[in-house]
Structure 1
Amino acid sequence: MSIRLAINPLTWTNDDMPELGAETPLETCLAEAKQAGFAGVELGNKFPRDAATLGPILARHGLALASGWYGSRLLERDVDAEMSAAEPHLALLQAMGCGACVFAEVSRAIHGERTTPLSHRPVLSDADWAVLAPRMTEMAQRMSSRGLRLAYHHHMGTVVQSEAEIDRLMAETGPEVGLLLDTGHLAYAGGDPLRAARRHVGRVAHVHCKDVRAATMAAALRQDLPFLAAVLEGVFTVPGDGAVDFATVFGVLAEGGYAGWLVVEAEQDPAKAHPLTYARLGHDHAAALAARAFTR
């Protein structure tokens, strides 16, 4: 698979705060994603979840399905139970020809809680890691047998948020567990997307190209805002509108042989950040940098 650009529908309509973009139909999201230049999209809350329905809709817009989020609870249930819970999602991704599953452990997570400060987010004990890592490795092995790579999404407000936690996850899981490198979440967590890309490029299975507004991020951290409150303040934006050095990150990914989707993702309030305008900005910036990095 060559490098292709996709966008997450969070630009138009928010999964965690459904009132944001509630009035925007799926057809608008897809039509504008194509208009902005994207080849694919990730799943969102307005997407039908069966391939027989979704496939023709995406085909009508000339879009592929890049992947979709799955929130696991491997700290709370064994792999058999998790595979059973994940089956409808995995079956959809498989039927739609996806190569990776966006996968995040959401046990104890606070990212969807609107009044809980980020400083209260869960932190794993050594005993927790001893449960989570082998279960995730087994989960990834089972998914691999179906042609899907587990792409682990580190995320603010969850048990794997910091750069050190990403490092530990990669160290304690088998090679079947891939990494979803999310530049915005890692920057917000105080990490370095470039350093993480260099360290784990061989495990990167999917990329979310999210930018951060540095001043807004600093204020959110200073005020210890809940994650969703920071989103409403505008902590995230599309590539080209923030502080992340995508040119250098893309260069590291290219040198490491990454071949997959680059997904523009920036959850913002669509009433403040006009979706098509930002979709175009994110596409054009990422496309120009990717063309230079991946065609050397």
Structure 2
Amino acid sequence: MKLGFLTACLPDVPLPELAAWAADHGYRALEVAAWPATGDRPFTASHLAAESLDRAGAEQVAALLDQHGLTLSSLAYYDNPLHPDPEERARVHAHLHRCIDAAALVGSPTVGTFVGRHPGRTVAENLADAERIFPELTGYAGERGVKVVIENCVMEGWHPDGYPGNLAYSPELWEWMFSLGLYLNYDPSHLVWMGIDPVAALRPYVDKVAHAQAKDIQTDPAARTRYGWPGRAVTRPDPWDTGWWRYRVPGLGEVDWRRLVDTLDEGGYDGVLSVEHEDPVWSGDRHRTETGLEIARRTLAPLLAG
């Protein structure tokens, strides 16, 4: 297993600088952000322009990573393929196809995204919609030797009441999406606040994990007692602030990384464990963000065989 990180945490740092820093600080892989440059959502970046990448550009990216001894683990474009606006949905699907094309050119084994959700429809209606949409996407990827991986992020901020906005938050839904040819980009942090044991949930599905992310979480049980599982209801100016938990870099939260890495190893996973840095404490500027990545590396590197 190799240790990497998702480049979206440093959106303003060019990919050549990120690659050099990663190699100098003990990382061996990058999950490269590939959102469209026009996007304005938080935790996104455009370190690879999938919509304009040609063979020459792909060779430059591959040479850059090879120069620093790095693996490209995935292209990251986490958006809503079930968006309620038909025009926006079409834009998401078009960019997903461009990311798949770019992954094939540059040698990335996976493209990461979400199942998503139409918040005005039931779960059953959304699943039926997804069953019509995703087989074409996974077939397109398969023809190019690329796997589409779905992060089990809840995306509660996409739902007006803080309910799941990405229908991949539980093992029940993982089994459903595997039937569509999708794979799992496993992130334990989301399971913790959902009340799911992240190690027990992972164990039966390691063979379906094509990519894994490392993000930790810190919960406040007293605040949960006040707000309940969905989080703040009366005063919630930020749709992403539930009021009772927050993400942390690995080592500063509640995930048992020793047991989790051991479960991945025992199940035969030998891919990349990619740090997804969304820690509000170790963010705010480049130095603090890089310090957060250092904390994550010091936590995880000793657990990885080889």
Which of 161, 185, 192 in structure 1 is aligned with 2:190? 185
Matches within 5 A, 1:142-161: 142-155=140-153, 156-157=155-156, 158-160=165-167
Please tell me whether residue 12 in structure 1 is matched to residue 10 in structure 2. yes
Partner SS for 1:54 = helix
What displacement does 1:251 show?
Answer: 1.5
Q: Where does residue 207 of structure 1 map in the other structure?
A: 212
What displacement does 1:100 show?
Answer: 1.3
2:143 partner letter: S
Matches within 5 A, 1:83-102: 84-102=94-112
Relative contact order higher in (CA < 8 Å, ≥ 6 apart): 1
Alpha-carbon distance in structure 2 between the residues aligned to 1:253 and 1:278: 23
Q: Where does residue 37 of structure 2 map in the other structure?
A: none
| Deviation string, structure 1 residues 183-216 (Cα, Å, up to 9, x no partner) | 1122233322112211322211111110112239
What displacement does 1:148 show?
Answer: 1.0
Alpha-carbon distance in structure 2 between the residues aligned to 1:217 and 1:150: 38
Alpha-carbon distance in structure 2 between the residues aligned to 1:234 and 1:96: 37
Gaps (5+ residues) in structure 1?
14-21, 109-120
| Deviation string, structure 1 residues 219-254 (Cα, Å, up to 9, x no partner) | 6864355454469x9811221111101111112211
CA contact (8 A) 1:161 1:186 kept: no
Q: Where does residue 284 of structure 2 map in the other structure?
A: 271
Partner SS for 1:208 = strand
Alpha-carbon distance in structure 2 between the residues aligned to 1:279 and 1:89: 26
Partner SS for 1:235 = strand
Q: Where does residue 232 of structure 2 map in the other structure?
A: 223
What displacement does 1:5 show?
Answer: 1.2
The 10-residue stretch of structure 1 (41-50 or 193-202) with the greater mean CA deviation from structure 2: 41-50
Partner SS for 1:206 = strand
Partner SS for 1:43 = strand
CA contact (8 A) 1:75 1:131 kept: no
Q: Where does residue 73 of structure 1 map in the other structure?
A: 81
| Deviation string, structure 1 residues 30-81 (Cα, Å, up to 9, x no partner) | 333222211121223241323255344444544332212233525767x999
The 10-residue stretch of structure 1 (150-159 or 59-68) with the greater mean CA deviation from structure 2: 59-68
Matches within 5 A, 1:273-292: 274-291=288-305
Q: What RMSD, in angstroms, separates the aligned Cα atoms of the two structures?
A: 3.4
CA contact (8 A) 1:204 1:258 kept: yes
CA contact (8 A) 1:75 1:132 kept: no
Partner SS for 2:220 = helix
Q: Report the identity percentage.
A: 22
1:284 partner letter: R
CA contact (8 A) 1:36 1:280 kept: yes
Q: Where does residue 247 of structure 1 map in the other structure?
A: 258
CA contact (8 A) 2:150 2:183 kept: yes
Partner SS for 2:114 = strand
CA contact (8 A) 1:6 1:38 kept: yes
CA contact (8 A) 2:169 2:191 kept: yes
Please tell me whether residue 104 in structure 1 is matched to residue 114 in structure 2. yes
Gaps (5+ residues) in structure 2?
34-44, 157-164
Aligned residues: 265
Alpha-carbon distance in structure 1 between the residues aligned to 2:264 and 2:92: 31
CA contact (8 A) 1:238 1:266 kept: yes
Cα gap change, 1:129/1:99 in structure 2, threshold over 3 Å: closer, same or farther? Answer: same
CA contact (8 A) 2:148 2:183 kept: yes
Normalising by structure 1, report the TM-score: 0.75
Cα gap change, 1:88/1:235 in structure 2, threshold over 3 Å: closer, same or farther? Answer: same
